[in-house]
Structure 1
Amino acid sequence: MTKVKGVKTYRKPAGGWGALRAVAGALSDQETVVEGGRSLLSANQPDGFDCPGCAWPDPKHTSSFEFCENGAKAVAWESTTKRATPEVVGAHTVAELLTWSDHALEDLGRLTEPMVYDRATDRYRRIDWAGAFDRIGEVMRGLSSPDQAEFYASGRASNEAAFLFQLMGRKFGTNNFPDCSNMCHEPTSVALPDAIGMGKGSVTLEDFDLCDAVFSFGHNPGTNHPRMMSTLRAAAKRGAAIVVFNPLRERALEKFASPQDPVEMATLTGTDIASRYFQVAVGGDAAAVTGMLKALLAADRAGGQVIDWPFVVEHTAGFEALAETVDAADWPTIEAQSGLTRADLEEAAAIYARSKAVILCYGMGITQHRSSSSAVHQLANLLLIRGNIGRPGAGICPLRGHSNVQGARSVGVAEKPTQALLDNIEKVFGFRPPQHHGHTVVEAIAAMRDGGSKALISLGGNFAVAAPDPAATFPALTGLDLTVTVATKLNRTQLLCGRESYILPCLGRTERDDQAGGRQAVTVEDSMSMVHASRGLNPPASEHLRSEPWIVAELALALLGPDTGVDWRGLVADYGKVRDLIEQVFPETFTGYNQRILTPGGFRLPVPPSERIWKTASGKANFIPYQADGDDPRRGDPDVLLLTTVRSHDQYNTTIYGLNDRYRGVSGRRDVIFASPADLKARGLADGDLVDVVAAFADTGPNGGHVRRLAGFTVVERVLPTGCLAAYYPEANPLLALADHDRRSGTPAYKSMPVRLMRAG
């Protein structure tokens, strides 16, 4: 038991009464007990709204209680009766607001009217919609090149808003669409197509009812997608093996109590989830899979008939190269890099080998490293070697975060558009969009920092806080000519004001969207490629709020003028017309769009790998050997530790609902560093000491000489692999240099920062 203030050991099951109390507390804190409670009954329902939380799919869209603690907090946060009016926001200077916590900023409540930054008074003030659009258009048209503009998209935007947003940007003349995918699952988007011909998962929710085993790498569903826990609980109760690879022991993956189960609630018991829990070293997952593959190859060669040879011969290419690479890997290196023993990995391989149908789930613990794209290849290799893609109860399952981050990509928000997309836009709209690649998030920040980009328009999100390297990102934003954010709440990005800055308040997912054509529905895509309608029910938080599609359409008219060949206002009057255009641009995936969303639960987009159709250059699924980043300086120095970032149970991405992290036993604070007893002892430290965490290697970029440091944090002893630390995101972002990212996808390496730990001062 720790004696650190605000820290204790949590031993109860995840979920259960703790989750219900947290829901009640969230509704009460946001002063929306009645309204929020009513709203929750419509979450994920056929005629209700899609939860603004995670992208986990909804079972049949029929359960009155198909929401979770995370979703309830998101609904309460959006349905709050608190209001951030121009008077409330303008009562404080921007300089003062920048000293507030991220939680305090958003806790002001819902934005109610458009605002413009007044540099003379250092305050935001009210502006009408027409005045805002006129000036934004004037500045944007004054740029010397369309590529001086960055169009950032958050995964909370609907398909309709995202499609119009990318159409506006391409009509403006750029493919600069940095989006939140760049910071989370971009390795999935770029690496899975190499292996299986598609940058999405291959499973359905029903596959979890049929699998013999679930292998989970680098994710924490109890915090980040709690509705998944019902699925894992059901699998565990019927005897499926659940094998977990995580540096930290996450309580929900150990034991979970369903708030919908009267027996577990009455008896204060729970269901054991993980049948085996391997605490892999930070960044060691690919090495662990290499060890499993090595064991599988050895077992097959010994006559164990482990490899699915008919599948490998008929459906794959590159097996020999993979086998050669795995054979060349030696066990001492595998053990050192994975933090696991040979016996551990042979045990995991044996579980995998005797399971007839396996689903492999992974999260940002895989995708946010310097070699993440290659790690995704390695996970695909593990599935392919036993034919675990393209049959019932088996497949790959990337766990997306934002509720529509996958959908935004499906409708064209991409800085590297396919030629087919560009050609179809030209065919449907009669203009030739730019052909060159645009900027990822990391590239956009560098361009803003270096003066190559002058304007940023953000469709949702909290760009500056989500991004790495605040020492580069924050001044990059304040040096812009123009920043525009479409948002429901005040956040830090809006306070990093350029020469001119505007806040455009939008409707939330829970609110009614009435346009000239009547009440509108938007659509979203979950992490298993299901597209369904979402209809808000609450009255808007302010009469001045406008929908995201409406705001994008008016921005388009301001940027492009009235003669664009697109009836922007006609499209906004009836979102069905937007969906008709999406169908024309993406005929192979969105056929019958408007008709198919009338079905409760929606429809599934085509997923060729689930039918063993491989849209790769070889026409087959490809084994691709893992290749670590050869420039990675992390290993070899015993004084250097690898720090991974984690989310608390009281946050969602950059939104901080409160300062508690129930399952890790932390309350009222976020200024902690989790470390192993061995690493503390080696440095003469103890649980509760104040420490500084310093980036281990000098910054050689434009900020050369800058020392990256978290000062005066409290170290908390936890069971972790030796050489590994953990801290909260986004508080730890200052330790991550802009250049520290996956070479292939550009995704920042939030999950493996090389640092040194020392006593504070």
Structure 2
Amino acid sequence: MTDQETPKRPADDAEAPPSPEFHPYHHPAAGWGAAKSVSRFLLRERELVDGPRAIQKMNHEGDGFDCPGCAWPDDLKGLRLDICENGVKHVTWEMTHKRVGPAFFAAHTVGELSTWSDAKLEDQGRLTHPMVYDADSDTYVPISWAKAFALIGDTLRGLDHPAQAAYYTSGRLGNEATFLYQLMARELGTNNLPDCSNMCHEASGRALQASLGTGKGTVDLKDWEVTDALFIIGVNAASNAPRMLTALAEAHKRGTRIVHINPLVEAAATRAIIPHDFADMALFRSTPTSTLNLQPRIGGDMALLRGMAKAVLTESDSDPKALDREFIERHTTGFDAYRALCESTPWQEIERQSGVSRAKIREAARIYCEADRSIFSWCLGLTQHEHGVDTVREIVNLLLLRGNLGREGAGPSPVRGHSNVQGNRTCGIDHRPSPDFLDRLAAACGIDPPRAHGLDTVGTIEAMHQGKVKVFVGMGGNFALAAPDTPYTAEGLRNCELTVQVSTKLNRSHLVHGRQALILPCLGRTEKDVQEAGVQSTSVEDSMSMVHLSVGMKRPASRHLLSEPAIIAGMARAALPDSSTPWEWYVEDYDRIRDTMARALDGFEDFNRRVRLPLGFRICQPARELVFHTPSQRAEFATAELTDVVPKAGMLKLGTMRSHDQWNTTIYSDNDRYRGIKNLRTLIFMNPADMRDRGLELFDEVDITSTAKDGTTRSVYRYKAIPYDLPRGCATGYMPEMNVLCAIGDYSTQSDQPLMKNLNVTVRPTGSGTGT
């Protein structure tokens, strides 16, 4: 059993924490609420000059920098305020004037810092010097870059096997650094390249690859502008992809029908005021962002989608236009088996598993049938389940029924939550690389890359526990908090010989470290990267496969910072002293990296020229051209049976999520404006009837226990219960606090993703001693 108490306030915070508040949110998304929030944040961070100046450069073509937040595409029409509330917060958080240097570390032991909250840790400011852990004093002390690289190189060369090291990547790493990072790992001899996709959209990639022969969506923003219907599934756009609100509002004004499918009716699924629409802001005029809202139970999306397909097929009996029969015959395989499966699935079971009535599902199906062109867009609400791959394939099934592929305004559109997580995968961060990719890499770089599959995130944590992975390198992110089973992950990290964290700010992963540990501070995306050839640019890829350049505009936070490519090159040269790869030459001018990428990566031909075109370039998606790299050379219908997602008696299905005032594991405050929460994070949202069954009222304290597949349990204590509009049997709460409830063994057998949104829990009043 793993237990975790509610986090305590740091001992040096003398004043009592403010009382929690809950006021249900009934206002439009964005608008003046977002503007006020941004103003307060800029004032709090004392960035009233540099903050607005940076905003003028964010997501701008040519001389601007890409927002390091979400991966929503940049506006195609040159919008000068293509920004959002959370993007401004993210950039301001990076540009803070606060600094964490040698004096700070000398004054605080790791033991002391470990008692601080995660928000307090990151709020200390930007890291300024490379630091190494000193066990005798339990502090980090300064180390030169040369000695830091030598420590890494000596340790890596001393391993018995290259696979005893793992190289983690978060979504903040630019394409050029990504390419060098995977090249280093593979030249060293391993495909141990875990990344945040392993926890987020792995299911999407595997499903799309199996159904269409491509691991990405096929649509772009132009398609969003002309589609007749949008189906938004498992997405909290107002917080996680706020710039999507513009697309939703504009679509509604054009007459596009918009269906939101989510256990929670989030703010983005109601109305919005777009901040850069000055007339609407002045008149407090909001625009609807939905036509229909459906609330399936957690994990019930697949049954709902199956019900829509069943309704479409039934409609085709009387309306020959309900199906695109020519498309099905020419471009797909497996239709007859899928039709038989839908017909044999009873409505009673569809309603029971989805938690949505037949009438509501048929209403969504009517919207789909009446639309000539439809887009389905989804995020982690669909993927972090045992059957995540099957669910995404069910989306493709629906698209294929009406030929919504290979034409304008139609297709699948997954929403990536990190700024360059899709670019990371495109540029080689993949623990299961294809033979074709490795062949091109070998030819372009003159190396012999390993062919055996490497470790993903869960596999890396297990291997650290078993002593099979002895070195962990984290390129950005906050692995200790982002990963599942928090105490188990921490034990694995502490079991390493060496942990290396490349970061911009202090976080929990610096305090949960191996016997030897390094903190290597890097440039942020807002900062100028000056190398021998001058100011450098890096490229990123958004959710819709557009690749464009990003150029920082601020002076670096410290003269001791290195760029991510320079750090990777330094590690590589130290670990591979006889390598013929021109690591230092690459860092002098990133165009040289891009020239090699053009030879190694499919779709990056003539990279340096194309990335400098207006808006960059879009990587070709074969499925958009109706070219399917599947075994059948056709789009393939899937025929998975429905999974039983109804919780057992007395249990709830719990899904973790982010608050609005949070970005990934970075927590800006204890507030969640769009869900009506102030001064509270250790909470659980529950259906009011489920609360009554347990004798609970608002803010009553509860203990939450999850039961893993292997029967083991994990608990958190003294969380506060909040009544919320959720289906019965469902509950939600915040990550990373609730990651402790996700056992390391609770991962999907389809995608290997941790089941962060499919936890089986019991909730009982604190002190009751009995579970219900």
SS in 1 for 2:27: coil
Q: Which residue in the other structure is 1:530 paired with? A: 546
2:701 is matched with which residue?
Answer: 690
Identify the residue that residue 603 of structure 1 maps to in structure 2.
617
Deviation string, structure 1 residues 393-452 (Cα, Å, up to 9, x no partner): 111100001110000111111000010111122212222111100001011101111111
- Aligned-pair CA distance for 1:140: 1.2
Measured in 1, the distance between the counterparts of 2:47 and 2:130 equals 24
Shift of residue 699 of structure 1? 4.7
Shift of 1:101: 1.3
2:736 aligns to what? 730
The structural deviation recorded for 1:348 is 0.8
Aligned residue for 2:22, secondary structure, equals coil
Q: Contact 2:20–2:680 at 8 Å: present in 1 too?
A: no
Displacement, 1:303? 3.7
- Tell me what 2:637 maps to: 623
Residues 363 and 398 of structure 1 are in contact (CA less than 8 Å); yes or no, is this contact kept in structure 2? yes
Deviation at 1:267, TM superposition (A): 2.7
**SS at 1:456 equivalent:** strand
Picking from 679, 683, 704, the partner of 2:690 is 679
Q: 2:628 aligns with which of 588, 600, 614?
A: 614
Q: Is 1:746 matched up with 2:752?
A: yes
Residues 61 and 176 (structure 1 numbering): CA distance in 2 closer, same or farther, change over 3 Å? farther
1:76 to 76, 79, 92: 92
- Counterpart for residue 35 of structure 2: 20
Distance 2:304 2:248 in 1: 22
Deviation at 1:319, TM superposition (A): 0.5
What is the CA–CA distance in structure 1 between the aligned matches of 2:54 and 2:369, rounded to whole Å?
A: 46
Q: Which amino acid aligns with 1:656?
A: I
3-state SS, counterpart of residue 517 of structure 2: strand
- Any idea what SS the aligned residue of 1:732 has? helix
CA deviations over 1:511-555 (Å, ceiling 9, x no partner): 000001111000000000000000001000000001000000000
Quick one: distance in 1 between partners of 2:594 and 2:417? 24
Q: Aligned partners of 2:657, 2:439: CA distance in 1, in Å?
A: 41
* 2:136 equivalent among 97, 120, 141: 120
Give the Cα separation in 2 of the matches to 1:424 and 1:603.
Answer: 21
Q: TM-score, normalised by structure 2?
A: 0.95
> How many residues align structurally?
749
Tell whether 2:604 aligns with 1:590. yes
Q: Deviations over 1:653-691 (max 9, x none)?
A: 111111111010111211111001111112222222111
Deviation (angstroms), 1:304: 4.8
Match of 2:115 in 1: 99
Equivalent runs, 1:416-427 vs 2, <5 Å: 416-427=432-443
Supply the distance in 1 between the matched residues of 2:246 and 2:640 (Cα, whole angstroms). Answer: 33
Equivalent-residue separation in structure 1 for 2:54 and 2:77 (angstroms): 15
**What is the match of residue 677 of structure 2?**
666
Q: Is the 8 A contact 1:61 1:600 kept in 2?
A: no
Tell me which residue corresponds to 1:574: 589
Q: State the SS of the aligned residue for 1:637.
A: coil
Matching of residue 483 in structure 1 with residue 499 in structure 2: yes
Amino acid at match of 1:135: L
Q: Is this contact kept in 1: 2:20–2:679, CA < 8 A?
A: no
Instruction: Tell me how far 1:327 sits from its aligned partner.
Output: 1.6
Write the mapping of 1:626-645 to structure 2, written as runs, cut at 5 A: 626-627=640-641, 635=646, 637-645=648-656
Say what the alpha-carbon RMSD is for the aligned residues.
Answer: 1.4
Contact 2:708 2:745 in 1 (8 A): no
Structure 1 residues 352 and 451: CA distance shift in structure 2, 3 A: same
Equivalent position to 2:579, from 554, 564, 576: 564
- Do the aligned partners of 1:373 and 1:742 also contact (CA within 8 Å) in 2? no
Which aligned pairs between 1:232-243 and structure 2 lie closer than 5 A?
Answer: 232-243=248-259
Return the TM-score normalized by structure 1. Answer: 0.97
Query: 5+ residue gaps in structure 1?
Result: none
Are 1:757 and 2:732 an aligned pair? no
- Alignment counterpart, residue 479 of structure 2, candidates 447, 460, 463: 463
Q: Deviations over 1:620-640 (max 9, x none)?
A: 1110123456xx7x6462211
Corresponding residue of 2:4: none
Q: Is 1:711 the counterpart of 2:717 in the alignment?
A: yes
Q: Confirm or deny that 1:37 pairs with 2:52.
A: yes
Q: Post-superposition shift, 1:28?
A: 2.0
Whether the aligned pair in 2 keeps the contact of 1:4 and 1:687 (CA below 8 Å) is no
Residue 5 (structure 1) aligned with residue 11 (structure 2): no
Three-state SS of the structure 2 residue aligned to 1:302 is coil
Deviates more, 1:572-581 or 1:82-91: 82-91
Q: Deviations over 1:537-596 (max 9, x none)?
A: 1000000001000000000001111x211110000000000001101112x300110001
- Alignment-mate amino acid for residue 623 of structure 2: P
Aligned pairs for 1:122-521 (under 5 A) are 122-521=138-537
Matched residue SS, 1:708: strand
Aligned partners of 2:736 and 2:382: how far apart in 1?
A: 18
Q: What per-residue deviation string (whole Å, max 9, x for no partner) do you get for residues 230-274 of structure 1?
A: 011100111110001000110122111111223322232311111
- One-letter amino acid of the counterpart of residue 608, structure 1: P
Q: Secondary structure at the match of 1:552?
A: helix
Q: Distance in 2 between matches of 1:734 and 1:715?
A: 18
Q: Are the counterparts in 1 of residues 708 and 742 from structure 2 also a CA contact under 8 Å?
A: no
Identity of paired residues, percent? 45
Output one character per residue of 1:705-729: Cα deviation in whole Å (capped at 9) or x when no partner: 5x41121011000111000001011
Stretches of structure 2 that go unaligned for 5 or more consecutive residues are: 1-17, 768-772
Deviation at 1:498, TM superposition (A): 0.6
Superposition misfits of 4+ residues, deviation over 4 angstroms: 697-700
Contact map agreement 2:259 2:293 (CA 8 A) in 1: yes
- Structure 2 letter corresponding to 1:260: H
Work out whether residues 52 and 75 of structure 1, in 8 Å CA contact, stay in contact via their aligned partners in 2: yes
Whole-angstrom CA distance in 2 between matches of 1:360 and 1:56: 15
- CA contact 2:214–2:623 (8 Å) conserved in 1: yes
Per-residue deviation, 1:697:
4.5
Structure 2 residue identity aligned to 1:515? Q
Contact 2:85/2:242 (CA < 8 Å) preserved in 1? yes
Q: 1:60 is matched with which residue: 44, 68, 76?
A: 76
Q: Deviation string for 1:288-332 (max 9, x for gaps)?
A: 001111111111123453111010000100111111221221111
Q: Which residue of 1 aligns with 2:11?
A: none
Letter in 2 for 1:760: T
Paired AA for residue 614 in structure 1 = F
Question: What is the letter of the counterpart of residue 29 of structure 1?
Answer: R
> What CA distance in whole angstroms lies between the structure 1 residues aligned with 2:125 and 2:134?
21
**Deviation string for 1:700-757 (max 9, x for gaps)?**
5xxxx5x411210110001110000010111111111111112122111111111011
Counterparts of 2:554 and 2:319, CA distance in 1: 63
**Equivalent-residue separation in structure 2 for 1:271 and 1:722 (angstroms):** 30
Q: Which is worse superposed, 454-463 or 85-94?
A: 85-94
Structure 1 SS opposite 2:660: coil
SS in 2 for 1:305: helix
8 Å CA contact 2:647, 2:760 repeated in 1: no
Structure 1: how far apart are the matches of 2:146 and 2:641? 53
